[in-house]
Amino acid sequence: MARFAAGKKAYGISDRSGFRYRLRDMKREWNGSLVGPDEYETKHPQLTPTKKINDPQALRNPRPDTHVDTYFSFKPVGGLNLEMTTGVGKVTVTTS
């Protein structure tokens, strides 16, 4: 079985700055970078996803509000003197 060297005097190169540090003093960041102890930064809390909160918007078995007054309105084009006549297969609209 293969073994690694002890590395008591080994050096490593920082992934962030390219400076040389003792390998045993280097730290691994949350993103996998190996950096020197003076360059080490912890993971910022905003990078951690928040818990999913169940916030349903729909209601089970909803009942419509039957006490609401409904109004329909339109603004006729051409004033109030509109006359419309129709027939089967033919539509005639007359405005005066």
Provide the residue-wise pLDDT of the chain in tens; the chain has 96 residues: 678 877 788 999 999 999 999 999 999 999 999 999 999 999 998 888 888 888 778 888 888 777 767 666 666 666 667 777 666 777 788 887
CA–CA gap between residue 28 and residue 21 (Å, rounded): 13
Helix (H, G, I), strand (E, B) or coil at 85: strand
Task: Decide: pTM greater than 0.85.
Answer: no
